[in-house]
């Protein structure tokens, strides 16, 4: 954006110089030409100055565009015999009004704000192109009322010809659009808050100046008079200067209202971390300024790259200004001694920097805490999972083995002569106890999950479900945290489906995609599931989050429920 | 002639009671082992007809032991036993060929005899 603005400005300057040289060659060497030359250079200088401002590049492009069209408009007058100058001149001349409106309405951001602005500029461009485009294609040579219009403007030289009716219509349209343009400007000025009005006023005055000059020119021309001393011609030349100057004044007013540190704060807020020093140096006006950040844990100052700075050995001619409450420095500025007279500027810059630095530091601290919190949550869940695996093993190795042995003992007793009815009772009790213990152990941690992996484990869950469940999953193994999280999601989801969904079928898919695991559990039931605090779904969300994944529920009433879980592959 | 059985399990009380139960039912329990290494050694030494083999052993998997035993001459019939149920291993579990799985809570002399009669 900035580069194209500069390119247009350079092109404008070149053409402007060529035009001035041409006029000198034609023997024009009066004060009017000098003024014209100065105005052109000034316009380009203003465009460049605007482009160099923070976020001024868009507006600069609009100014440069207007200047370029204006100089193209002027060129044809001085090269009446050049066909290419004329051919370029015609559309340029037609587009100058819309470029002008674009620049004025785009001020100060370079962007148009409303539909009215866009419509006006589009209409001005269309009218301008029709106005100058029609004679480009069909024209009638001057003084030949009976000649038929001809298609051949590139054979045509000179800037005078008989306007076809389209010319008059275009003029009428331009007058209407001009009034609408002034109306839009007045409305903008009235709607602006008092603070912003000051920044709009120079531009508004410049536009009224140009409009008044334009009307005066037409009146003098229509009346067949001459302005005294050619004063209107002078004013016409000044136009190229007035508008850029007004824009510059307006932008200066914006800067003044923002205060000397405004740009710095804006710049600092956009600077990447570690880039505060150059912004501070510019704000204070001391390119040698150094920023020293206080690190409480180390008890020393470091620069933005983290290298220690020895503030006890400040060379002759340098001074240190500490920022922050007394005794708890946050940072320090090491700067030219002569800046000490501007203590308030230093402190203001320091405070602005402090806001940004404190912000950055708080953010870093928060991020560190968040990371720690996440990893501690993951550790807690992993520890709980390990504990469950241990519990399950203990159940198998302990109580269950004792009960199995007891079963064998009962069988032996039956071989001898004990009351067989009582014995059968004991055996039934024992088998029940064993089954319950197996179910309990499986609920604590399923053997099949650690032994065979998530795919077979999910199929075993599906086999035990009350409704038909299809499972699409391979036998690939994943990290235990991922397998456990996925397993409990499926187990809980299938239990929920059995309890609430009134579904007749469900499906589970588990696949690796783009370095992540995608798990989807869907049913054809009644839908309307929500994650309530303390509910099973919320517990699943927590478990999935602890494994670094995410869980989403799509459950429109009447349209079934889809549970989508994404987990990292580890 | 009585069927010669080797019992491999890491729980002494289970081995002791299973031995008594099977012997009273007419099996000849010729040996016991508590781990995978012992199982292979005893099987080689005793040449039993049947090995009752726990799936989870302290020094390895009973499934691996079963695979190794299948490669020996006059390989014994291997019955894999476990305190876990069949569904804990899943339908597609790759049991070694020629092996039969029997949950421990279903282990009775009658059941064992029925299993052994099937090829």
For chain A, list the domains and their CATH numbers. 2-258 (1.20.1070), 274-368 (no CATH), 378-442 (no CATH), 453-568 (3.30.565.10)
* Residues in chain B closer than 8 A to A397 (CB atoms): 11
pLDDT digits (tens, 9 = 90+) for A288-325: 888 888 877 777 887 777 778 888 888 888 888 887 77
Q: Which residue in the set B17, B92, B93 is minimally distant from A405, CB to CB? A: B17
Closest chain B CA to residue A459: B90
3-state secondary structure labels for all residues of A398-434: HHHHHHHHHHHHHHHHHHCCCCHHHHHHHHHHHHHHH
Q: Which residues pair with A139 in a beta bridge?
A: A150
A442: contact with B, CB 8 A cutoff: yes
Query: Is A459's CB within 8 Å of B91's CB?
Result: yes
* Assigned token pair, A77: 């007058």
Tell me the angle at which helices A343-395 and A262-270 cross, rounded to the nearest 10 degrees: 20
d(CA B66, CA B49): 14
Closest residue by Cα to residue A501 from A472, A460, A466: A466
Residue-averaged pLDDT of chain A? 80
> What integer pLDDT is reported at residue A153 of this predicted model?
43
Closest residue by Cα to residue A407 from A394, A392, A419, A423: A423
Query: Is A405's CB within 8 Å of B14's CB?
Result: yes
Cβ pairs bridging A and B (under 8 Å): 72
Q: Is A515 left (phi over 0), alpha (psi -120 to 50) or beta?
A: left
pLDDT digits (tens, 9 = 90+) for A428-470: 888 888 888 888 888 888 888 888 889 999 998 998 888 999 9
d(CA A424, CA B115): 23
- Cβ neighbours for B79, distance < 8 A, ≥ 6 positions apart: B50, B51, B52, B53, B99, B100, B101, B102, B112, B115
Give the distance, in angstroms, between the CA of residue A409 and the centroid of all CA atoms in the same chain.
76
pLDDT digits (tens, 9 = 90+) for A346-363: 777 777 776 777 776 677
B24: contact with A, CB 8 A cutoff: yes
CA distances from A199 to A105, A183, A405 (A): 13, 18, 95
- Rounded mean pLDDT of A478-482? 89
Indicate the burial class of A38 (C-beta count within 10 angstroms; 0-12, 13-18, 19 or more): middle
Compute the Cα dihedral for A53, A55, A59, A61 and give only its sign: positive
d(CA A31, CA A9): 24
d(CA A197, CA A208): 16
A450: contact with B, CB 8 A cutoff: no
Residue numbers of the domain that contains B104: 4-117
Question: Higher confidence at residue A482 or residue A351?
Answer: A482
d(CA A261, CA A345): 9
Helix runs in B3-108, H state only: 12-24, 36-46, 62-70
A428: contact with B, CB 8 A cutoff: no
Find the angle CA(B50)-CA(B56)-CA(B57) to the nearest 5 degrees. 80
CA distances from A305 to A282, A315, A355, B36 (A): 19, 21, 19, 61
User: Residue A423 above 60 pLDDT?
Assistant: yes
* Assigned token pair, A532: 């309530």
* Residues in chain B closer than 8 A to A415 (CB atoms): 21, 24-25
Positions of E strands within A218-281:
none
Q: pLDDT band at residue A156, thresholds of 50, 70 and 90? A: very low
* Assigned token pair, B59: 């020094």
* Assigned token pair, A131: 């106005």
Compute the Cα dihedral for A319, A324, A325, A327 and give only its sign: negative
Closest chain A CA to residue B107: A408
Tell me if A543 sits within 8 A of A536, measured CB to CB: no
d(CA A194, CA A198): 7
> What integer pLDDT is reported at residue A292 of this predicted model?
83
Q: To 10 degrees, the CA torsion angle through B25, B30, B34, B38?
A: -150
B45: contact with A, CB 8 A cutoff: no
- DSSP string computed for A541-566: HHHHHHTT-EEEEE--TTS-EEEEEE
d(CA A62, CA A43): 12
d(CA A285, CA A271): 18
* B50-54/B4-8 β-pairing: parallel
Contacts 24+ apart (CB under 8 A), A222-231: A230/A32
Q: Which residue in the set B14, B85, B91 is minimally distant from A408, CB to CB? A: B14
CATH number at residue B12: 3.40.50.2300
- Cβ neighbours for A294, distance < 8 A, ≥ 6 positions apart: A300, A301, A324, A329, A330, A331, A332
User: Residue A570 above 80 pLDDT?
Assistant: no
Helix runs in B1-119, H state only: 12-24, 36-46, 62-70, 109-117
Closest residue by Cα to residue A26 from A75, A71, A67, A72: A75
* Residues in chain B closer than 8 A to A404 (CB atoms): 14, 83, 104-105
User: Residue A145 above 70 pLDDT?
Assistant: no
> What integer pLDDT is reported at residue A31 of this predicted model?
72
Query: Is A459's CB within 8 Å of B89's CB?
Result: no
- Cβ neighbours for A354, distance < 8 A, ≥ 6 positions apart: A323, A324, A330, A331
Which portions of chain B are predicted below pLDDT 70?
Answer: 91-92
Reduced to 3 states (helix: H, G, I; strand: E, B; else coil), residue A190 is helix
d(CA B114, CA B119): 10
> What integer pLDDT is reported at residue A166 of this predicted model?
62
pLDDT digits (tens, 9 = 90+) for A31-49: 777 777 787 788 888 888 8
Q: Considering only residues 59 to 88 of chain B, which have any Cβ-Cβ distance to chain A shorter than 8 Å?
A: 83-85, 87-88
Question: Higher confidence at residue A348 or residue A99?
Answer: A99
Closest residue by Cα to residue A212 from A240, A183, A236: A236
Measure in Å the smallest separation between the Cα of B18 and chain A Cα atoms: 6
Question: Higher confidence at residue A240 or residue A148?
Answer: A240
> Domain count of chain B?
1
Q: Which residue in the set B83, B85, B89 is minimally distant from A404, CB to CB? A: B83
Cis bond upstream, residue A108 (ω within 30):
yes
A465: contact with B, CB 8 A cutoff: no
Q: Is the pTM of this model over 0.80?
A: no
What's the farthest any 2 CA atoms get from each other in chain B?
37
User: Residue A403 above 60 pLDDT?
Assistant: yes
CA distances from B87 to A163, A181, A462, A463, A541 (A): 96, 82, 11, 9, 28
């Amino acid at each position: 954006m900035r580069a194209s603005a500069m390119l247009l400005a350079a092109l404008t300057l070149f053409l402007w110089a060529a035009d001035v040289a041409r006029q000198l060659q034609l023997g024009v060497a009066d004060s009017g030409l000098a003024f014209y030359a100065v105005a052109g250079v000034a316009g380009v200088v203003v465009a460049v100055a605007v482009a160099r401002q923070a976020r001024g590049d868009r507006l600069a492009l609009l100014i440069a565009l207007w200047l370029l069209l204006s100089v193209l408009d002027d060129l044809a007058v001085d090269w009446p015999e050049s066909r290419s100058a004329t051919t370029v001149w015609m559309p340029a001349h037609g587009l100058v009004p819309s470029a002008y409106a674009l620049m004025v309405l785009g001020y100060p951001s370079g962007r148009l704000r409303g539909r009215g602005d866009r419509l006006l500029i589009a209409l001005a461009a269309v009218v301008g192109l029709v106005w100058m485009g029609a004679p480009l294609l069909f024209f009638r040579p001057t003084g030949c009322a009976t000649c038929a219009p001809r298609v051949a403007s590139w054979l045509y030289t000179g800037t005078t010809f008989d306007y076809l009716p389209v010319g008059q219509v275009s003029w009428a349209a331009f007058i209407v659009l001009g009034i609408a343009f002034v109306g839009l400007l007045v409305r903008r000025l009235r709607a602006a808050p008092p603070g912003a009005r000051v920044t709009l006023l120079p531009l508004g005055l410049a536009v009224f100046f140009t409009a008044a000059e334009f009307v005066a020119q037409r009146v003098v021309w229509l009346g067949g008079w001459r302005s005294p001393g050619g004063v209107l011609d002078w004013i016409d030349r000044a136009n190229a200067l007035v508008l850029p100057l007004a824009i510059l004044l307006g932008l200066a007013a914006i800067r003044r209202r923002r205060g000397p540190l405004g740009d710095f704060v804006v710049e600092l807020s956009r600077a990447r971390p570690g880039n505060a020093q150059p912004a501070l140096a510019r704000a204070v006006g001391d390119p040698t300024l150094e920023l020293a950040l206080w690190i409480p844990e180390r008890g020393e100052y470091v620069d933005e790259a983290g290298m220690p700075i020895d503030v006890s050995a400040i060379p002759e001619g340098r001074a240190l200004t500490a920022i922050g409450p007394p005794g708890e420095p946050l940072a320090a500025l090491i700067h030219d001694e002569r800046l000490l007279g501007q203590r308030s500027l230093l402190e203001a810059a320091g405070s602005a920097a402090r806001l940004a630095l404190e912000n950055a530091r708080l953010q870093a601290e928060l991020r560190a805490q968040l990371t720690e919190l996440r990893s501690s949550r993951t550790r807690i869940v992993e520890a709980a999972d390990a504990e469950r695996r241990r519990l399950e093993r203990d159940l198998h190795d302990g109580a269950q083995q004792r009960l199995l042995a007891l079963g064998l003992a009962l069988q032996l007793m039956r071989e001898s002569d004990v009351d067989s009815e009582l014995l059968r009772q004991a055996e039934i009790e024992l088998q029940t106890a064993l089954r319950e213990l197996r179910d309990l152990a499986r609920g604590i941690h399923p053997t099949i999950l650690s032994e065979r992996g998530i795919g077979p484990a999910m199929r075993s869950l599906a086999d035990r479900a009350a409704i038909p469940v299809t499972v699409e999953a391979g036998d690939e193994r994943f990290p235990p945290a991922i397998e456990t999280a996925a397993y409990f999601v499926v187990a809980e989801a299938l239990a929920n489906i059995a309890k609430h969904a009134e579904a007749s079928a469900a499906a589970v898919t588990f696949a690796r995609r783009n370095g992540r695991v995608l798990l989807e559990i869907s049913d054809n039931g009644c839908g309307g599931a929500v994650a309530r605090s303390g509910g099973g779904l919320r517990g699943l969300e927590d478990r999935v989050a602890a494994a670094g994944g995410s869980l989403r529920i799509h459950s429109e009433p009447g349209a079934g429920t889809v549970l989508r879980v994404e987990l990292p592959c580890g | 002639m009585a069927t010669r059985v080797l019992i491999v399990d890491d729980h002494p009380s289970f081995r002791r009671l299973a031995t008594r139960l099977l012997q009273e039912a007419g099996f000849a329990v010729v040996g016991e082992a508590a781990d995978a290494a012992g199982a292979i050694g005893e099987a080689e030494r005793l040449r039993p007809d049947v090995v009752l083999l726990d799936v989870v052993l302290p020094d390895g998997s009973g499934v691996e032991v079963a695979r190794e035993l299948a490669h020996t001459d006059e390989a014994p019939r291997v019955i894999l036993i476990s305190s876990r149920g069949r569904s804990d291993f899943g339908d597609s579990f790759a049991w070694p060929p020629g092996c039969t799985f029997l949950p421990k809570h279903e282990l009775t002399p009658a059941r064992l005899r029925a299993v052994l009669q099937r090829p």
